[in-house]
Amino acid sequence: MKKLAVLLFISVFILSGCGASANLISKAGEKLEAGKYEEAEAIYSEVTETGRYVSEGYRGMGICQINQGMYADACISFEKALLYADAQSAEYTRDVELYLAYCRQHHGEDDKALEIYNGIVARDASPDVLYLRGKLYMDLGNTEA
């Protein structure tokens, strides 16, 4: 009976941690939508420390940092989001890569942005990614690509 009580306690503790991470993500999303980027970023940072939804936490931080014009920090956040994106869908990974390419472009790293776009196109040559890559080529003065 004592073992059962301990197992039950551990289960409740673990499950409450999962819920806490989900609650933090929801709370951060509300702050983000309200334009409270610093507050949202701080909450997303908390998410990364919980051990659950770490990739989503870094992705959220990156989006907040973009909105604050902090492109170098956003690049780091999106790189970390990709590192923790193991179990994520291909669509999620593509989304984070597109944010990362955007940051690289706005941080003056057009060559790195182009590498990211080329990698995405190699897997999925969707019109939106082809457009973004083509726009970057045009911005670079390369009309032959």
pLDDT in tens, 74-129: 999 999 999 999 877 889 999 999 999 999 999 999 999 999 999 999 998 899 99
The helix/strand/coil state of 103 is helix
CA dihedral 69, 70, 74, 76 (to 10 degrees): 160
Helices (H), ranges, the chain: 2-33, 37-50, 54-67, 71-83, 90-106, 110-123, 127-139
Tell me the HSE value of 86 on the side-chain side, using a 13 A CA sphere: 4
> Residue 37 — very low, low, confident or very high, per pLDDT cuts 50/70/90?
very high
Structure tokens at 29: 């999303």
Q: Which pTM value belongs to this model?
A: 0.81
Structure tokens at 124: 């999925």
Tell me the HSE value of 31 on the side-chain side, using a 13 A CA sphere: 20
Structure tokens at 107: 């941080």
Tell me the HSE value of 84 on the side-chain side, using a 13 A CA sphere: 17
> Residue 20 — very low, low, confident or very high, per pLDDT cuts 50/70/90?
confident
Q: Which domains does the chain have, with CATH numbers?
A: 15-139 (1.25.40.10)
